[in-house]
Amino acid sequence: MDTKRQDEAPARQPRDRDRRRWPREGQPHDEAAPSLAPVLEPLSFSTLELAPGDQFAAWQVHMAPLVDVRLPDDKSPDDGFPASHTAWNLGGMLIVQQRAPAHSYIRSAAKLRSSSIDHWYIVLPRTGRSWTEVDRRVAETQSGKLEIRSLGYPFRGRVTDSESLFLYLPRDLFSDAASTLDAKNNSILTGNFADLFVDYVNSVEARLRSLTAEDLPRIVHATRSMIIACLAPPAEHAAAAEQLVSVALMERARRYVQNNLDAAHLTPDSMCRALGVSRSRLYQLFEPSGGVLHYIQSRRLLAAHVALSDPADSRRIVDIAETFGFSSAANFSRAFSKEFGYSPREGRNTMVLPRPAHSVSLAEREKTSSFEGWLKALGS
């Protein structure tokens, strides 16, 4: 018992000094705490619960900010149009998961004149095929092939029954590479860079529900860099390739850490084996994050914090600490207090509720309570 008190004493002293220096309500961790929780809340739309005869009309209204949609000649509105559309707002980028039956679409010059939306968008079809015409040039896509297109130009096309992922990015995000993107409008992205980008997009989609506020701007920046790398002229490919590989490798490494937070074998050696890289490459990769071991401990502490603040998790503090690789309650308490500025027990009494990050807090306003609102606010 005396040993335990001695172990905990050093962790308690600096916290007490902080309390004397700062008023309770002004402590920095009070503002930072919400970023510990997942922040994205999807905006979902589906026609599945509507009567079949009403489904297509509802889909037309939902897609009206982007395109006018029409049924194939051999289809009638009475046949039904079971479709779904789930949007995620990352602040500087929208990600949309969409399923829809066959239809045609057009973004006319008249719609452009009445719309302020001129974003770039990337389409990753999972199933189905599409044909899109811009300035008499047709881009044909199929499953697994990326296409890039601007909402600032008229286009028209058709698509079969399909499931696709869409990324909407504001034009201003690419202000320094506008000519490069304009030259590739309505293009299919192919090659190693595009394949790496597909892997990256798939990994981001898989983690949408767990992203924190601090993750969002980094993901937007990484996505921008990878798109530019895919479109870079051949003379810039060497530097672009190195950057692209590093971004993709770092994402794989972070995903490996996240998936193995409760594993005893989560060490630099196990990461090297899983990722197929040398120790020096791994250390170089995590140097901006304070090192591999620091990153692992930070993610474990974050996971422990989420568990402690979950009212549905009734495990003892010592059991949560053990789950995430801490050998003793004293070690966990010291590390936790250093990371967050308060003890695990205080963390348990401070519930952290998910809420949108500042960059997407506009979604709380009336003007952004719809997909159209999100599109109009993107990049503003």
One domain, residues 167 and 311: no
| Boundary residue ending a domain (170, 204, 231) | 231
Query: Are residues 166 and 148 in contact, defined by beta-carbon separation less than 8 angstroms?
Result: no
Task: Say what the pLDDT of residue 26 is.
Answer: 40
Condensed to tens digits (0 to 9), the pLDDT of residues 147-165 reads: 999 999 999 999 999 999 9
State the average pLDDT over residues 179-185. 86
Condensed to tens digits (0 to 9), the pLDDT of residues 106-138 reads: 999 888 877 889 999 999 999 999 999 998 899
pTM value is 0.63
One domain, residues 294 and 204: no
Position 1 confidence tier, pLDDT thresholds 50, 70, 90:
very low
Residues of the domain holding 241: 237-338
Tell me if 34 is assigned to some domain.
no
∠215-376-140 over CA atoms, to 5°?
80
Kindly report the number of other CB atoms within 10 A of residue 252's CB atom: 19
pLDDT at residue 374 tops 70: yes
**Residue 95: strand, helix, or coil:** strand
pLDDT at residue 226 tops 70: yes
Task: Say what the pLDDT of residue 363 is.
Answer: 38
One domain, residues 162 and 280: no
One domain, residues 205 and 310: no
pLDDT at residue 281 tops 60: yes
Position 53 confidence tier, pLDDT thresholds 50, 70, 90:
very high
Condensed to tens digits (0 to 9), the pLDDT of residues 293-312 reads: 988 998 899 888 888 888 88
Condensed to tens digits (0 to 9), the pLDDT of residues 325-371 reads: 888 888 899 999 888 888 888 888 754 433 333 333 333 433 446 89
State the average pLDDT over residues 262-270. 88
- The number of folded domains in the chain is 2
Beta-sheet strands, E only, within 47-185 = 68-70, 84-89, 94-100, 103-107, 120-127, 130-134, 137-141, 146-150, 155-159, 162-169
∠365-368-370 over CA atoms, to 5°?
130
Distance CA 365, CA 177 (A): 32
pLDDT at residue 284 tops 90: no
Tell me the helices (H) and strands (E) count for the chain, helix number first: 15, 12
CA 34 vs. chain centroid, Å, equals 17
Looking at 147-236, list the stretches that DSSP marks H as alpha helix, in order from N- to C-terminal side: 178-183, 192-206, 215-231
